[in-house]
Structure 1
């Protein structure tokens, strides 16, 4: 099977390529120059020339809470444009299998946890990442519409919980929480700092899965795509507080200083835990513990700093 992976240079894409099952497929991994997803004509030409059997859409403008607040236009426009371009071009090229990678941030901010797939568009979105969430909702719905119009088109959406892992971004202003905190605590230890600030009270709960596990799910899904639900959450089914993540990361790095809460900072949704009922029924489960994942991610950071 020939599979196009958009965003192959990103964290999710790199983990897909590193997975042991990658060698079983012909994977197309164009860079941005070879395939600019913001250029609809270029997308159509690429699909026509390469004729993949399946598309896995993992590309996107991503970032943590600071980046989403600072650049809402880019997070909405670029992500929506990329999704619409690759989905419509794939349909027009008669590609019958499409795996759309979305995000649990598209669930309503006040929805009852755990978050079931049926809750999409059932309430107001979280303002701190609304632009990104709107783009993800649009692509998810378009997959549903394409399949509704012609059920030969299996256009399905995977909704991962928060991710972290190898090939993550470690810039505190542009990365998600875990890599940002790993970098922050590592820097603090190296400087001999004895105090680290945490945004808010640290009691908000988050579910973070190791990106290598998402890659494992993706290959499982490829092999069982016909019976995979239209929309499916992928995560752990349990969560931790922000304070607990800071504590576990400090243990891995060997930081023994104090944490101080900055109550003036935004914290986002109080909880964002996915409902894994459909995931369990589908027959897949995560493998990597939090400690194992944090150790592997910190090791990756150290390798990058020594390059």
Structure 2
């Protein structure tokens, strides 16, 4: 069955950053049968609830953007919770998708699944050739489990039901901006904003500032996912989704400092961990299919900050379950 404007599309995790971006993109491009149930409507921790919802709504396409996410602190202090929550959600949705006869289910992996010392840029075949970065290990393991559950089903049954994708560090509207749980870009945005409005003299950041990261705006991730659903390519493994450019954490901090108007100084606490030295994806496979990102890092951060300023008090903290 080919994806059409009338196809029944279910977006899970629409209260979060990537899920909400997918809903906006689909609606903007004329897909008028998009469902995005709230946590009250659909409890992803309940297999019975998920199975019943899928059975009554009969989704044809699913975008699984729900899950528990977190940065270094969250992985260090709540590793069990990250593993448990993601494994439960993944199992419930994947099994229910199989049983309900879904046409295609997009599953989001993470760039933290790659080995810490992987050759750069990282190609999809580098997965499981080494140990992921220790500071993100619980989340990485949960995401690896989901990717290989999807791929194993496709291989065992000779189908292409599941489409696992691997976006690099994603940011945008409806991100988690809580410094205790957020990823680096959104955490820095919150911290520099707070320092700016309180006229702080300095902001102290973890590490040396030298690790390099690739960042991709949530709208670009949404466009890539919808591009793949429309094109429906044959594939045996996951697909990277990246911007093709990386920046040092120091460069990122200076950019966010400028956008938020902070006039103080930045200090680096080198007693704290840096994480992986570099994370740049090789996105040539999806690029060769015809997709390219369009939002620059500075423009994306500005859009994110504009949204943050408008919705600061309403921003949800924590997961996008």
| TM-score with structure 1 setting the length | 0.96
In structure 2, relative to structure 1, the CA distance for the partners of 1:193 and 1:232 (3 Å cut) is: same
- Once the two structures are TM-superposed, the CA of residue 41 in structure 1 deviates from its matched residue by 1.6
| TM-score with structure 2 setting the length | 0.92
Gaps of 5+ in 2: 1-6, 315-321
2-side partners of 1:166 and 1:143: how far apart? Answer: 28
The match for 2:318 is none
- Once the two structures are TM-superposed, the CA of residue 22 in structure 1 deviates from its matched residue by 5.2
The match for 1:230 is 237
CA displacement 1:240-270 (0-9 Å, x = unmatched): 0000000111111122221111011112111
The match for 2:108 is 101
Does the 8 A contact of 2:111 with 2:279 survive in 1? yes
Are residue 239 (structure 1) and residue 237 (structure 2) matched? no
Are residue 146 (structure 1) and residue 153 (structure 2) matched? yes
CA RMSD of aligned residues (A): 1.5
Does the 8 A contact of 2:110 with 2:168 survive in 1? yes
Are residue 265 (structure 1) and residue 272 (structure 2) matched? yes
Candidates 12, 22, 25, aligned match of 1:6: 12
2-side partners of 1:136 and 1:30: how far apart? Answer: 23
The match for 1:17 is 23
2-side partners of 1:87 and 1:77: how far apart? Answer: 15
CA displacement 1:45-76 (0-9 Å, x = unmatched): 11111111111110000122111111000111
2-side partners of 1:304 and 1:33: how far apart? Answer: 22
The match for 2:190 is 183
Q: How does 1:54-73 map to 2 (within 5 A)?
A: 54-73=61-80
Ranked by relative contact order (alpha carbons within 8 Å, sequence separation 6 or more), the top structure is 2
Gaps of 5+ in 1: none
The match for 2:125 is 118
2-side partners of 1:25 and 1:271: how far apart? Answer: 40
Matched position secondary structure for 2:179: coil
1-side partners of 2:153 and 2:58: how far apart? Answer: 19
- Once the two structures are TM-superposed, the CA of residue 170 in structure 1 deviates from its matched residue by 1.3
2-side partners of 1:197 and 1:303: how far apart? Answer: 26
Are residue 131 (structure 1) and residue 138 (structure 2) matched? yes
Count of equivalent residues: 307
Does the 8 A contact of 2:11 with 2:23 survive in 1? no
